[in-house]
Amino acid sequence: MNLANGMELTPPDGQRFRFDPGALCLEFLLTGGEGELARWERLHRPDDLAAWIAHSRAGITGPCPVTADELASARRLRAAVQRLAARAATGSRDLPEPDLAVLNEIAAAPPPVPVIGPGLERSWASPVTGAQFLSAVARDAIELFGGPDLDRVRMCAGERCYLLFLDTSRPGTRRWCSMDRCGNRRKLRTRRDRNPPG
Ligand SMILES: [Zn+2]
């Protein structure tokens, strides 16, 4: 039920672009983070997470009430996924155990319940709780870090771009968050280097 279409991002320079992180748990990192990433924080109140979930690739269209405790869990889960993905993107298989334990703890809660309608359309039993959504994210992360796609977790090769994604391209050669963003910048730079002004 993944709606694999990515999200529109607007960095400080204002150039909007579409970024497809390729997996729900990596998309969840777009809500912000700790340290350097705190300036991207989007989850200030429980309602912020509820609103974000509606735009995520999880395909949850109905109400998704979020409590303050669930928001705290969301931040903890996000920090764990961030560290795990950044480490995996270096090619390391030595992933921090405390972060893996956070995935296990949060995945232990029941996930959203799938339902099928009379027109054979699939959706989730409503309402989906914040804990159910977080369980789905944690389960997605377990699938990613414990499965064959681990080798395809990448960090954008762009300068000062730290976006993490799952490379779902067939040859496994995706290097950029987006061709419209970092890919294009590199192309322009290469062209400039070949034909230096003056
Ligand atoms: Zn990038």
Cα 93 to averaged position of ligand 1 atoms, centre (Å): 23
Element housing 73 (H / E): helix 68-89
State the Cα torsion 148-104-88-42 to the nearest 10°: 120
pLDDT-derived band at 1, boundaries 50, 70, 90 = very low
- pLDDT tens digits, 76-101: 999 999 999 999 999 999 999 999 99
Cα 108 to averaged position of ligand 1 atoms, centre (Å): 33
Cα 157 to averaged position of ligand 1 atoms, centre (Å): 6
Cα 185 to averaged position of ligand 1 atoms, centre (Å): 9
Which residue bears the tokens 């155990």? 97
Cα 163 to averaged position of ligand 1 atoms, centre (Å): 6
Whole-number Å distance between alpha carbons of 7 and 31 = 11
* Predicted pLDDT of residue 14: 85
- What is the total residue count of the chain? 198
Cα 8 to averaged position of ligand 1 atoms, centre (Å): 13
- pLDDT tens digits, 43-87: 999 999 999 999 999 999 888 999 999 999 999 999 999 999 999
* Cα distance from N-terminal residue to C-terminal residue, the chain: 54
* Predicted pLDDT of residue 26: 98
* Predicted pLDDT of residue 194: 76
Average pLDDT over every residue of 7-35: 92
Q: Which of 33, 31, 35 is nearest to 133 (CA)?
A: 31
State whether the Cα torsion 51-69-130-96 is positive or negative. Answer: positive
Quick check: 49 and 31 in contact, CB under 8 A? yes
Cα 177 to averaged position of ligand 1 atoms, centre (Å): 4
Quick check: 29 and 82 in contact, CB under 8 A? yes
Of 37-41, 157-161, 179-183, 188-192, give the lowest mean pLDDT range: 188-192
Cα 6 to averaged position of ligand 1 atoms, centre (Å): 14
* Predicted pLDDT of residue 198: 57
Cα 183 to averaged position of ligand 1 atoms, centre (Å): 7
Q: Does residue 3 have a pLDDT over 50?
A: no
Cα 176 to averaged position of ligand 1 atoms, centre (Å): 5
Cα 195 to averaged position of ligand 1 atoms, centre (Å): 24
Q: Which of 67, 77, 70 is nearest to 105 (CA)?
A: 77
